[in-house]
Amino acid sequence: MAAAFAHDDFPEGLAVKVELLPLVFPLHMITGALALLMLPLVIALRRWPRWHRRVGRIAALDVLVAGVTAFPVAWVAPVTLWSAAGFTAQAATWLALLALGIHNIRHGRVAAHRACMVLMVATTSGAVFFRIFLALWAMFGTARRFERFYAADAWVAWLLPLVATALLLRGTARTHSG
């Protein structure tokens, strides 16, 4: 976690964000990383409701902070307007799914809650896919079209897992209902 505040070796694009958002950017990095760890744990704890609820509440607060801080991080010194829009759409989707999941469980709709939370995890995985695609670009791409690639990556990295998960959930729902 301390690495989020030790930014001497950050790439220039991230160093600019740290300089302009010295508290918000590290906070986003820490809470985003925690979300990647906590959300699968919450799902794994579903068989133990007491722990599932406790860890789920902490994870929800973490996602709230990571999601809210994603907006300024996306728009401060963006690589392109399209990349900023992609990260903003991801954050908005993430927060909407969190709100829907909380709403559904408070109204006793367990299946809908579960679906929202699984979709939220899929959206979260976009952070991992984004970096994998960046690494692939670094190995096989060229600097010439990097801005276009980066903008596409900001959308594709989270939309692909979200759509794939939604289709899987839809197929599972059909199998169980028919």
Q: Give, in degrees to the nearest 5, the angle at Cα 45 between 43 and 49.
A: 115
pLDDT at 19: 87
What's the per-residue H, E or C state across 99-154?
Answer: HHHHHHHHCCCHHHHHHHHHHHHHHHCHHHHHHHHHHHHHHHCCHHHHHHHHHHHH
User: Amino acid identity, residue 156?
Assistant: V
pLDDT at 38: 97
pLDDT at 165: 97
pLDDT greater than 90 at residue 1: no
8-state DSSP, 9: T
CB 118 within 8 A of CB 169: yes
pLDDT at 82: 96
pLDDT at 67: 98
Mean pLDDT confidence for 62-73: 98
In angstroms, the CA 32 to CA 131 distance is 13
pLDDT at 123: 97
The model's pLDDT over 72-131, given as tens digits with 9 standing for 90+, comes to 999 998 889 999 999 999 999 999 999 999 999 999 999 999 999 999 999 999 999 999
pLDDT at 117: 97
Instruction: Read off the pLDDT band of 11 (50, 70, 90).
Output: low
Residue 54, SS3?
Answer: helix
**CA dist 68 to 27, 108, 163, Å?**
10, 27, 23
The model's pLDDT over 16-51, given as tens digits with 9 standing for 90+, comes to 888 899 999 999 999 999 999 999 999 999 999 999
More confident residue, 79 or 166: 166
The model's pLDDT over 124-165, given as tens digits with 9 standing for 90+, comes to 999 999 999 999 998 998 888 888 999 999 999 999 999 999
User: Amino acid identity, residue 6?
Assistant: A
